[in-house]
Amino acid sequence: MNALLRATERWMEERFPVGAVKKFVSDQATKPLPAHTSWFHTFGSLAIFVIVNQIVTGMLLMIYYRPMPDSAFESVRFIMTKASFGWFIRGLHAWGSKFMIVLLLLHIVRTFFMGAYKKPRELTWVVGVCLFGIALTFGFTGYLLPWNQLSYWATTIGTEMAGALPLVGVQFKRLLLGGDAVGGETLSRFYVVHVIVFPWLLVGLTALHVVLMRAQGLATMDRVGEEKKPKGGLPFVPHHLLKEGVVFAIFLGFLITISILWPPELGEKANPFDTPQAIKPEWYWLPTYQLLKYFPKLLGVLICFLPPVVMMLWPFLDRTRERRFRKRPISVAIGILTIMAALVFGLLGHFSETDIALFGKKYHVDHYGVPRTPTETPHP
Amino acid sequence: MEPRRLRCATDLTGAVSSCRGAAAIGFCTVLFLTAPRGLAAQETSSCAPCHEKERAQEEKSVHLREGVACTDCHGGDPKEIDKGRAHADRVKKVPHTEVPKLCGGCHADVRRMNPYGLPTDQLSRYQTSRHGEVLAQGDTEVATCTDCHRAHGVLSVKSPDSPVYPRNVPGTCGRCHGDEELMKKRGKKSTAPALYRQSVHAALLFDKGDLSAPTCATCHGNHGAVPPGVRDITHVCGKCHVKEHEVFERSPHFQPTRQGDFKGCVQCHTNHKILKSPADIRKKCGLCHDEDHPGPKRFDAIFARIDRGEAALRRTGERLEELTRAGFHTEDDRVLWEQAKTANRQILPGQHALDLKTVEDLASTAEKTLAEVDRSLEEKEKSKRVRRLALVPIWGFLVVMAGLFWAKRKAVEKRAGSAPSPGDRE
Amino acid sequence: MSADAEAPKDEKPAAADRRSFLDLLIRGGLLAGAGAMAAPTVAYLWPARAGGGKTAKVSAGPVKDFPVGSARMVQAEGKPIIVIRAAEDRFRAFSAICTHLGCVVKWDSGSGKIRCPCHAGVFGTDGKQVSGPPPRALSEYEVSIVGGEVVVTL
């Protein structure tokens, strides 16, 4: 009996080397992290948690969702009103997508100010920027799917921006829309991209990102080329994982709270004959949206393409050796200025074409974000 | 008037004689150019080349289309190229006073109008109208057919360019009735068109584009235009406001209206401006009643009741909206709410009996339905509260978990012993 | 919370005991958390009352319960619909929302017309306005007879 068991074990061991797999996993898990690994290092793994959340809730939503213009809206309404907890699952998915952007931004800021993108981790950074781009476009494709007024017109404006690209713009827009205007063809395209193409791309690139990160180890704060093996650092499991557990529990609490208190609205069904007033994109597109207003179409698009390109190539542009942010004032200043500019343009975009009250006075903020007293702009 | 008209006639003859020389050469070319276009028979008439302006005005006219030629009204010989001979047969500008009879020549002819399905009583109606009466009394300026329908280029009522198209009627009547000088001469007020513009009827017609909205002609009649008498007012308004008319018969104001002491609907709503807001109408009570008369008090009681009903309807409507936005299934409640709204909508016509009980009955019907909606909404709001309350245990659980992870981390750190991480909280 | 309070209390006895207790709590918590997340998921997957997204068709009851010259109100997606049997083999369905001010219209079997109680608007059996203030005809829905049942297609 015992002999039989041992034989089976041996047979299995040869074909499925449990020991080796175990050793590989445990080596990876217990690899010591540098001593400065902080609470700020949890943003990346939180983003991975949100990806899991998006995939699970996304699959659940797909169960009732129908990507057809005459039933998409109705199916989302069914999810919201009839399917048990449908409103909650949609809330987790919709809010998760926004939290994802926030977490990725925080993760990027952390990486930037700790100089973790420098040699030899340039490619990890490049992959990360690609992931960020995918996350932004992911939100854009998902926005159309409920087929309500907001999604319909936001998509119309978004694809219009893409249409302004030099040379290939018009063709690119036609390719995106599957025709000349947002319609059933567009919905199918966005759906396929949203539920098949992007999820695989995101998971694949995330895996590459994580593998690169594990293979090279977390960056220390030492100068480039003078990195020492982390000494006395605590292992990923269980030490850092527990730290993530704490953050994760609190984060989950916030996600659930927001989904319960402010479930995403459904709005009105898309109506191609009725353009709502002052349609605006999601908040993370606002800086781009506002920037485009100040420049003629072509120039504006080029200017909007500059920041992502610079961001992608940043590790190759900034070849200094210091990592501590006090010792590299120029790149830190550029970073802070970029954040400020994004904030300013985002706020201008948010308040443009609305009425605000400042110090008891009413202003109408115009297209360009300039507040005007109502007498200055006679409105019909 | 008369001398001017005579002068016109001489001018015409003068022009005709001066034309005569050029006619022989000119006309042949014109005919040569126009004839091959293969136009309808009346087009080959010889009037057009000289009377270009009139020909242009006739362009879209129903008369031209139906084959009514210039000569049918004006006389003359359309086949004659020579001006003198063409005009020989008493060509004239039709005198204003003769227009109704001239138009009636065809339009009062049953046989002729039959295929078009047009009524033939316009002439007789006109003759009984105020316009017709005044014309008979010798007022030559008064409106006849052509003042409303135009002389040349008469269009169908269905054509938006026609002066009698619903939307154009107030302007057409207003040309004279809004002319202060013209009206003063006859001892009339010229305020009606301006007042009409402020009315609910005008808002429907112009702002909402509702072509069934009443214009001047709806109340005063078109061909038989007369201001309705006091006793007829309820019938005139009742043509559309059926419910109000029916209910008004139970009103304490009904008998005085029959006796001609109370001007019916118009007494409170005024005639052209048509007051709508209860506050404006309330002011009219004072015309006849003292403030301590039971009438005005009842009015206040009725409208307080109506306001209460409206407020309840609005409140429930807002709750419904909020729950719908929060992702609840509210479609069945919405149907009930619409029914309550329907019941509520009947109160305003219904209160014309000035009878609190009628109003109370209607309002309570609406409220019963609303109560049903409210009960159902209550339940949904409860489950919304439950959702929010669920946050308490969820947070409790998550905070405990975070605490456990924290404690475990501390323990692990301690076990790691002498080499703790100094930069832990950097 | 509770763990924080518990941790220092148990410090004196064997540290291993405390650790295993903590591990037990964490494992239990994770399990409970997974269960709490699975429950709504299962509830969500369970077929809901009405089944399917769009209710494209709504039944107005069997033909035999529908006398000629009568009407019935049905509702679908929050909209009232009036179904009329105008003749032996002629069923028609209209939106029951009056085109004038949005009241719900009613069938008047006496005159064989659709009436709006609010402002006395009258519509014929073809949904066209006959008299009164309504500016447009009632919008119509398709009606079909499926297996002896009157079905309105939205």
pLDDT at C106 over 50: yes
The pLDDT value recorded for residue B10 is 37
Instruction: Select the more confidently predicted residue: B17 or B300.
Output: B300
CA angle C57, C61, C65 (to 5 degrees): 155
pLDDT digits 0-9 by tens, B296-339: 888 898 999 889 989 999 999 999 988 887 777 787 788 888 88
Among B217, B239, B274, where does a domain finish?
Answer: B274
| Contact across the interface for C80 and B334, Cβ inside 8 Å | no
Chains with at least 3 CB pairs less than 8 angstroms from chain A: B, C
In a domain, B418, yes or no: no
Q: Does C47 touch chain A (CB under 8 A)?
A: no
In a domain, A380, yes or no: no
Q: How far is A85 from chain C (nearest CA, A)?
A: 6
Note the residue count of chain B. 426
- Report the domain count for chain A: 1
pLDDT digits 0-9 by tens, B252-261: 999 888 888 8
pLDDT at A29 over 50: yes
| Contact across the interface for B407 and C4, Cβ inside 8 Å | yes
Q: How far is A298 from chain B (nearest CA, A)?
A: 40
Residue B418's pLDDT band, with cuts at 50, 70 and 90, is very low
In a domain, A228, yes or no: yes
| Contact across the interface for B421 and A252, Cβ inside 8 Å | no
With beta carbons less than 8 A apart as the criterion, state whether A314 and A122 touch.
Answer: no
Host domain of residue B256:
228-274
**SS3 of C93, please?**
strand
Q: Percent of chain A scored above 70 by pLDDT?
A: 96
- Rounded-to-integer distance, Cα C25 and Cα C19, Å: 10
In a domain, B204, yes or no: no
To the nearest whole number, what is the mean pLDDT of chain B?
82
pLDDT at B36 over 80: no
Q: Give contacts of A77 with chain B, Cβ < 8 Å.
A: none
* Nearest-CB residue to A263 (from B327, B391, B425): B327
* Nearest-CB residue to A63 (from C40, C45, C54): C45
Q: Are B300 and B337 members of one domain?
A: yes
User: For chain C, which residues lie within 8 Å of any Cβ of chain B, measuring from their own Cβ?
Assistant: 1-4, 6-7, 15, 18-19, 22-23, 25-26, 29-30, 32-33, 36, 75, 77-80, 97, 101-104, 117-120, 132-135
| Contact across the interface for A80 and B408, Cβ inside 8 Å | no
- When mean pLDDT is compared over A21-35, A145-159, A162-176, B90-104, the highest value belongs to A145-159
**SS3 of C76, please?**
strand
Fold classification of C54-153 is Rieske Iron-sulfur Protein (2.102.10)
Find which of B385, B406, B424 to mutate to test the A interface (most A CBs within 10 Å of its CB).
B424
pLDDT digits 0-9 by tens, A289-346: 888 888 776 777 777 788 889 999 998 988 888 888 788 888 889 889 989 999 999 9
Average pLDDT over residues B208-233: 86
In a domain, A17, yes or no: no
Q: Give contacts of A246 with chain B, Cβ < 8 Å.
A: 402, 405-406, 409
Find which of C26, C103, C111 to mutate to test the B interface (most B CBs within 10 Å of its CB).
C103
Q: Does B39 touch chain C (CB under 8 A)?
A: no
| Contact across the interface for C1 and B335, Cβ inside 8 Å | no
pLDDT at B34 over 80: no
Q: Does A89 touch chain C (CB under 8 A)?
A: yes
Q: Does A78 touch chain C (CB under 8 A)?
A: yes
| Contact across the interface for C45 and A66, Cβ inside 8 Å | no
In a domain, B253, yes or no: yes
* Nearest-CB residue to C80 (from B330, B338, B399): B338
Cis-peptide into A238, omega within 30 deg: yes
Residue B139's pLDDT band, with cuts at 50, 70 and 90, is confident
Average pLDDT over residues A111-120: 87
With beta carbons less than 8 A apart as the criterion, state whether B332 and C75 touch.
Answer: yes
CATH number of A181's domain: 1.20.810.10
Q: How far is C89 from chain B (nearest CA, A)?
A: 29
Closest alpha carbon within chain C to A66: C53
Going by the DSSP 8-state scheme, the letter that residue B152 receives in this structure is S
Q: In this predicted structure, which of A119-133, A193-207, C66-80 has the lowest mean pLDDT?
A: C66-80
Closest alpha carbon within chain B to C18: B411
Q: How far is A261 from chain B (nearest CA, A)?
A: 7
Q: Give contacts of B405 with chain A, Cβ < 8 Å.
A: 242-243, 245-246, 249
- Rounded-to-integer distance, Cα A224 and Cα A117, Å: 10
In a domain, B338, yes or no: yes
Q: What is the DSSP string of A127-195?
A: HHHHHHHHHHHHHHHHHHTT-BHHHHHHHHHHHHHHHTSTTTHHHHHHHHHTSSSSSHHHHHHHHHIII
pLDDT digits 0-9 by tens, B358-413: 888 888 888 888 998 999 899 888 988 898 999 999 999 999 999 999 998 888 87
In a domain, A376, yes or no: no
In a domain, A99, yes or no: yes
Q: Are B304 and B375 members of one domain?
A: yes
The pLDDT value recorded for residue C101 is 80
Instruction: Select the more confidently predicted residue: B329 or B175.
Output: B175
Q: Are B310 and B375 members of one domain?
A: yes
In a domain, B381, yes or no: yes
H-type helices in B59-118, by residue range? 62-65, 70-74, 83-87, 99-107, 110-113
To the nearest whole number, what is the mean pLDDT of chain C?
78
Q: Does C4 touch chain A (CB under 8 A)?
A: no
The pLDDT value recorded for residue A43 is 92
pLDDT at A254 over 90: yes
Q: Give contacts of A63 with chain C, Cβ < 8 Å.
A: 44-45
The pLDDT value recorded for residue B107 is 92
Give me the residues paired with residue A272 across strands: none
Residue C56's pLDDT band, with cuts at 50, 70 and 90, is low
Residue A151 Cα distances to A142, A265, A285, B86, B141, angstroms: 9, 12, 14, 72, 63
Host domain of residue A167:
29-365
- Domain residue spans in chain C? 1-46, 54-153
In a domain, A378, yes or no: no
